[in-house]
Amino acid sequence: MTQSRQENRRFVLAERPHGEPDANTLRLETSDIPKAGKGEMLLQNEFLSLDPYMRGRMSDAPSYADPVGIGEVMIGGTVARVVTSDVEGFKEGDWVQAFGGWQDYAVSDGKGIINMGSNPENPSWALGVLGMPGLTAWAGLTQIGQPKAGETIVVAGASGPVGATVGQIGKILGCRVVGIAGGAEKCGHVVNTLGFDACVDYKADGFRDALKDATPDGIDVYFENVGGAVFDAVLPLLNTGARVPVCGLISQYNATSLPDGPDRLSLLMRAILTKRMTMRGFIVFDDFGHLYPDFANQMGEWVRDGRIKYREEMIAGLEQAPEAFIGLLRGDAFGKRVIKLSD
């Protein structure tokens, strides 16, 4: 089914998943294209971002944001084009960065919308390195991690849009950077293309020893977006005064119970105390949204100069989004996963 000018395809939340989302979690519907009223504009979504945080929005457990309601359009960042506009500063044909959700068309009053102009280069990159994942990497590392030249940074999910950017910024700032990724192909990309000093395959036998060998001087900054067994291997290697920005815990998003084994909370708390570590979670736009202009200027310069490299995994067709999202949570993605809605 292709994008149409006569109807609006949309994925709504059909039921709350228990564990991993499946084919019953989201339901594809068609409806009339919404109409923009006074002070509003109609947007035609061109690209849809797939991001791990969406799993949390499918749940009604208490969190930092309201859950998606049953029967409501699934939330998601989009790059769109303006079809009609009665909003000052936006005109027909403009490209915008929005939050249009898993659908072809959306109506907006312009709040929170970024106008990208009439002819942006690589517009979908506004969902990746030049958008929320890039800001997450830049702000989490510079504002919480505060790396100093010569220190060792370790980042999990190193081939993904956040981890890849964290590591490259670390190299620009003069640090030794070690990535953690799943599989030889991803680790090869992290070292040979992104320029990390080393990458450790968490799926391989001997992962803990390999990580220790790759960080002979310990770890000063650990950028956390995975959790689980990866963090268990990192914890004993953290140096006194280490900083741990926490932006996600993707290994736990589909969990239905606490992990097996002994309670490790006391071990973590002792490490925080005795090593005088700083561990801080953050929600990027809530905590660092005011820094977006600084980020956009700096990251735009690094990307133009080739100092930051970016890998995008483009998948054609809105109908492919649910399975692509499930694969993302399983660790199948290689780079930033984006759905192309238009033909």
pTM of the model: 0.90
Confidence band for 254, pLDDT divided at 50, 70 and 90: low
| Angle between the N-to-C axes of helices 292-304 and 161-172, in degrees from 0 to 180, rounded to the nearest 10 | 80
Confidence band for 258, pLDDT divided at 50, 70 and 90: low
Domain around 319: 8-128+311-340
- Mean pLDDT over all residues of the chain? 93
Confidence band for 261, pLDDT divided at 50, 70 and 90: low
- Whether residue 329 lies inside any domain: the answer is yes
Together in a domain, 124 and 56: yes
Together in a domain, 249 and 139: yes
17 vs 9, 24, 59, 251, 259, CA distance in Å?
22, 8, 7, 16, 19
Together in a domain, 98 and 194: no
Together in a domain, 331 and 211: no
Choose the weakest-confidence range: 10-24, 38-52, 164-178, 265-279. Answer: 265-279
Mean local confidence (pLDDT), 215-221:
98
Together in a domain, 112 and 245: no
Together in a domain, 112 and 160: no
Mean local confidence (pLDDT), 78-92:
97
308: tokens are 């930051």
Together in a domain, 54 and 97: yes
Together in a domain, 280 and 323: no
Q: What is the CATH number of the domain that holds 175?
A: 3.40.50.720
- Whether residue 33 lies inside any domain: the answer is yes
Q: Among 243, 267, 285, which residue terminates a domain?
A: 285
Q: State percent of the chain over pLDDT 70.
A: 95
Choose the weakest-confidence range: 4-8, 50-54, 65-69, 254-258. Answer: 254-258
Does pLDDT of 129 surpass 70? yes
Together in a domain, 104 and 160: no
Domain count, the chain: 2
Q: Among 267, 285, 303, which residue terminates a domain?
A: 285
Together in a domain, 278 and 332: no
- Whether residue 183 lies inside any domain: the answer is yes
**pLDDT of 252:** 59
* Residues 341/2, Cβ–Cβ less than 8 Å: no
Number of residues in the chain: 343
* Residues 174/150, Cβ–Cβ less than 8 Å: yes
- Whether residue 290 lies inside any domain: the answer is no
CA 287 to CA 303: how far, in whole Å?
24
- Whether residue 301 lies inside any domain: the answer is no
Q: What is the CATH number of the domain that holds 318?
A: 3.90.180.10
Q: Residue 42 burial (CB < 10 Å; 0-12/13-18/19+)? A: buried
- Whether residue 305 lies inside any domain: the answer is no
Together in a domain, 137 and 221: yes
- Whether residue 298 lies inside any domain: the answer is no
Together in a domain, 236 and 181: yes
- Whether residue 94 lies inside any domain: the answer is yes
